[in-house]
Structure formats: C-alpha cells, structure tokens
C-alpha cells in the first residue's frame, strides 16, 4: 500500500499519471482540473472527447510532479498509475485498464465488489478501489455528478493531495452551497471507499507509450458520403449507423412505461431525443405507444417530465453497494 512519504519521494523525480473515464456531462474533465488545482506541485491535464454528446464516453489525462520539467508533455497519458471510472457501464464499453502497469490502481464508481471488477476487466495484477459515488451524488448533491466524489476515493488510495487540499480547490472553483455539498460528498467518499490491495505498488519510472496502430473500423471515407457528409442507416449501402450505438448504457435510470395508465397522447414520442419511444401500427391503422426501447433510451427523463398522466417512471440501474470484498478472500480492507 502506498504511503504519503513514498508518494512524496516518487514525485521528486518522476511524474504520477492519471486517467479519468467518464461520460459527457459527468464532469470527468473538471475532475482532472481539480487534481491539478489540489496538487501542491506542478501539473497538466488534457481532455479527449469523442462524439460530443451528453452521455458519450470521454477521457481526460493528468500528469503531476514536483519537478516542473517533467510535466511539459501535452500528449495523452498512455501508462496511467491511477485510473478513475466515473460510470460503471464504461467497464465493458471502453478498455479502462489499457496501459495500467502491474500494481496500478483502478478506482470505480460501482456497487460491485472488487473481485467482480477484477474478473470484469480481466486484470488480477492491479489494485482496485470502489465507491458507490452514484448513490452519494444523488443523496448529497441531488444529481448524478460523480466527479468530485471519485476524487475522494483517489485521496484515499493515492496520497497525491489531502482532503484539505482538495477541499480548498473545490471552494475556489465552486461557490456557496454547491461547494459545501461537494466537500461533504468527498468526505463521505473517503470514509466509504473500499480497497482491494494486491500488495504490489506500480513502477512509477514507467510512462510507456503503446505503439501507434492503424485501426480500421470499416467506416466509409469522405468520398462515400453524400455532400452533406451524412451517414444514412441503410444496411444495404453502409452497414453502420447510430441505431447500432447502445445509448441505453449511457444513463443511470431504467425508464419504465405503465401501459394501463398511458392515454396514448404521444407527447413522449415527440420529445424523445433518441427515438426510444416505440410505437406500433394497430389494426385501426393508427400508431400506438408500445413501450420504451431500452437499447437506445439514455434516461434523459424528458418523457417522464412531459407525460401528463405519470405513465412513465424511473428506477436506478445500480443496486445497493457491495463494497466489501468477501471475507474469505485475502487482500481486502
Ligand atoms: S428517458 Fe424517455 S425521452 Fe429520454 S431517451 Fe429515454 S425514452 Fe427517450
Ligand atoms: S406521454 Fe404518457 S400518456 Fe402520453 S403516450 Fe407517453 S406515456 Fe402515454
């Protein structure tokens, strides 16, 4: 297990590198900014966005050191010593452990236990910390913004900055009640973080870069697109399209439709941004509400708000936290 003294010594001669995986809107980039602001030394951070859309996967990178010359690189972090995952659905959608050296740390917002996470990401050689940040966010902040809460878990395992240093950074960035609630949520996260330490520390002398690779996605080139640059979802012409993107994994709620209460007004169908309201043509020749397409529903809750008869409800996807490593397993604390 890392100690504050060990981390302090490492930072004199090397960088400690972090990567954050989040979904658009969850504040992964703010989390990386706050790391630099809370750190008593030198640091840089960079974000990387894919499709700029609420809920799509994002990454951000942080380099920290006491030596200013070591943090001048602006390229992405390839060998992160600490990786934080703000949304548990990313565990199976993104290679969150890419480049983590043996003994590195994976910190996940989840209700799963740490051994299940090791199985999910297929890495037994890394340390795992878990925090049920979604529950804390909803309880304390009233919104599923888990970025500051995951930093509480980072404080607990990394010793890169203290609770007080992180609180100062939060108070500078946010104002009044928002700042106070975030500090409260971080304190709770530090106390509730569960740690599975395999007894190996990462090699901090590594900042490895994976060889550059050409990835062929089989997507059309610019010559294949029409003049407006649009990909039509026509399986005969182009076998890809947004209908195949599982936007249903982006949100934290299961959205539930009550057929008995529904008056078939179609307001939800008009407002849904992802065409996730299913309507079927009835024998009367008219279209009728038939359900919610969970593969595409990203739980924006627009339909829930607009439904005049409350025929749509929500249920949190995450269950209660299972933080503790099973007692018969070694290494947990
Ligand atoms: S919550 Fe409702 S409006 Fe939003 S994506 Fe899902 S079905 Fe559509
Ligand atoms: S808005 Fe409500 S009542 Fe109207 S179709 Fe949708 S679920 Fe049914």
Q: What is the pLDDT of residues 262-308, one digit of tens each?
A: 999 999 999 998 889 999 999 999 999 999 999 889 888 999 999 99
Average pLDDT value for residue range 9-26: 90
Q: Residue 199 burial (CB < 10 Å; 0-12/13-18/19+)?
A: exposed
DSSP type of residue 91:
G
Residue 118 included in any domain:
yes
Question: Which ligand ends up closest to the CA of 254?
Answer: 1
**Cα(323)–Cα(315) distance, integer angstroms:** 21
Residue 265 pLDDT: 95
| pLDDT surpasses 90 at 252 | no
What's the mean per-residue pLDDT of the chain? 85
What pLDDT, in 10s, does the model give residues 172-204?
998 889 999 999 999 999 999 999 888 888 888
Give the Å distance between the CA of 277 and the centre of ligand 1.
7
Antiparallel, parallel or unpaired: β 42-49 and 57-65? antiparallel
For residue 207, what is the enclosing H or E element?
A: none
Residues 124 and 12 reside in one and the same domain? yes
Residues 51 and 186 reside in one and the same domain? yes
* CATH number of the domain enclosing 239: 3.30.70.20
Residue 246 included in any domain:
yes
* CATH number of the domain enclosing 8: 3.40.920.10
Residues 180 and 309 reside in one and the same domain? no
**Cα(13)–Cα(1) distance, integer angstroms:** 20
Residue 325 included in any domain:
no
Residue 330 pLDDT: 45
Residues 55 and 156 reside in one and the same domain? yes
pLDDT-based confidence at residue 106 (cuts at 50, 70, 90): very high
Question: Which ligand ends up closest to the CA of 302?
Answer: 1
Query: How many other β-carbons are positioned within 10 Å of the β-carbon of residue 271?
Result: 14
Residue 91 included in any domain:
yes
Give the Å distance between the CA of 54 and the centre of ligand 2.
24
| Single residue among 151, 179, 196 that ends a domain in this structure | 196
Residue 327 pLDDT: 47
Give the Å distance between the CA of 293 and the centre of ligand 1.
9
Residue nearest (by alpha carbon) to ligand 1 atom 5? 297
Range 163-190 burial, b when 16+ CB lie within 10 A, else e: beebbebbeebbeeeebebbbebbbbbb
Residue 160 included in any domain:
yes
Residue 210 included in any domain:
no
| Token code pair at residue 97 | 């452990």
Residues 136 and 284 reside in one and the same domain? no
Residues 47 and 176 reside in one and the same domain? yes
Residue 322 included in any domain:
no
pLDDT-based confidence at residue 27 (cuts at 50, 70, 90): confident
Does residue 129 sit in helix, strand or coil? strand
DSSP bridge partners of 250: none
**Cα(41)–Cα(7) distance, integer angstroms:** 13
Give the Å distance between the CA of 104 and the centre of ligand 2.
49
| Token code pair at residue 96 | 């969150």
For residue 60, what is the enclosing H or E element?
A: strand 57-65
| Token code pair at residue 134 | 């979604």
Residues 16 and 157 reside in one and the same domain? yes
**Cα(239)–Cα(242) distance, integer angstroms:** 11
- Tell me how many domains the chain contains: 2
Residue 149 pLDDT: 95
> What domain range includes position 154?
4-196
Task: Return the beta strands (E) in 234-321 as ranges.
Answer: 253-257, 277-281, 287-292, 312-316
| pLDDT surpasses 80 at 230 | no
pTM: 0.74
Residues 101 and 14 reside in one and the same domain? yes
For residue 38, what is the enclosing H or E element?
A: helix 28-38
Q: Which residue do the tokens 């007894």 mark?
A: 199
Residue nearest (by alpha carbon) to ligand 2 atom 1? 307
Residues 32 and 127 reside in one and the same domain? yes
Residues 191 and 226 reside in one and the same domain? no
Pocket lining: 290 vs ligand 2, CB cutoff 6 Å = no
Residue 21 pLDDT: 93
Q: Which atom of ligand 2 is nearest to the CA of 310?
A: 2
pLDDT-based confidence at residue 93 (cuts at 50, 70, 90): confident
Note whether 5 and 149 are within 8 A (CB).
no
Dihedral sign for Cα 246, 248, 249, 251, please. Answer: positive
Residues 149 and 255 reside in one and the same domain? no
Q: Which residue do the tokens 């290679």 mark?
A: 95
| pLDDT surpasses 80 at 212 | no
| pLDDT surpasses 70 at 324 | no
Residue 208 included in any domain:
no
- Point out the least confidently predicted range of 121-125, 147-151, 216-220: 216-220
Residues 164 and 272 reside in one and the same domain? no
| Token code pair at residue 147 | 């970025």
For residue 42, what is the enclosing H or E element?
A: strand 42-49
**Cα(153)–Cα(143) distance, integer angstroms:** 19
């Amino acid at each position: 297990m890392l100690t504050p003294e060990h981390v302090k010594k490492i930072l004199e001669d090397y960088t400690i590198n972090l990567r954050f995986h989040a979904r658009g809107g969850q504040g992964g980039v703010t989390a990386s900014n706050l790391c630099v602001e809370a750190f008593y030394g030198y640091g840089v951070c960079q974000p990387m966005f894919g499709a700029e859309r609420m809920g799509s996967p994002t990454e951000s990178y942080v380099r920290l050191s006491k030596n200013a010359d070591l943090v001048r690189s602006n390229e992405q972090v390839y060998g992160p010593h600490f990786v934080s995952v703000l949304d548990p659905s990313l565990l199976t959608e993104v290679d969150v452990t890419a480049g983590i050296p043996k003994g590195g740390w994976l910190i996940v917002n989840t209700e799963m236990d740490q051994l299940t996470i090791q199985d999910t990401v297929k890495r037994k050689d890394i340390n795992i910390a878990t925090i049920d940040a979604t529950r804390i966010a909803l309880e304390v902040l009233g919104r599923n913004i888990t970025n500051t809460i995951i930093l509480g878990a980072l404080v607990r395992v990394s010793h890169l900055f203290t609770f007080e240093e992180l609180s100062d950074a939060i108070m500078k960035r946010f104002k009044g009640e928002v700042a106070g609630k975030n500090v409260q949520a971080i304190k709770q996260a530090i106390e509730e973080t569960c740690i599975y330490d395999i007894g190996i520390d990462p090699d901090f002398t590594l900042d490895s870069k994976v060889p550059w690779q050409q990835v062929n996605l089989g997507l059309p080139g610019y010559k294949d697109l029409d003049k407006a640059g649009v990909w039509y979802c026509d399986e005969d012409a182009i076998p890809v399209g947004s209908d195949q993107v599982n936007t249903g994994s982006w949100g934290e709620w299961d959205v539930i439709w009550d057929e008995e209460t529904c008056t078939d007004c179609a307001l939800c169908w008009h407002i849904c941004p992802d065409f996730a309201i299913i309507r079927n043509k009835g024998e009367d020749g008219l279209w009728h509400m038939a359900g919610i397409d969970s593969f595409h529903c990203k739980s924006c809750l627009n339909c829930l708000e607009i439904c005049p008869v409350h025929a749509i409800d929500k249920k949190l996807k995450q269950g209660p936290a299972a933080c503790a490593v099973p007692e018969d397993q070694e290494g947990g604390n």
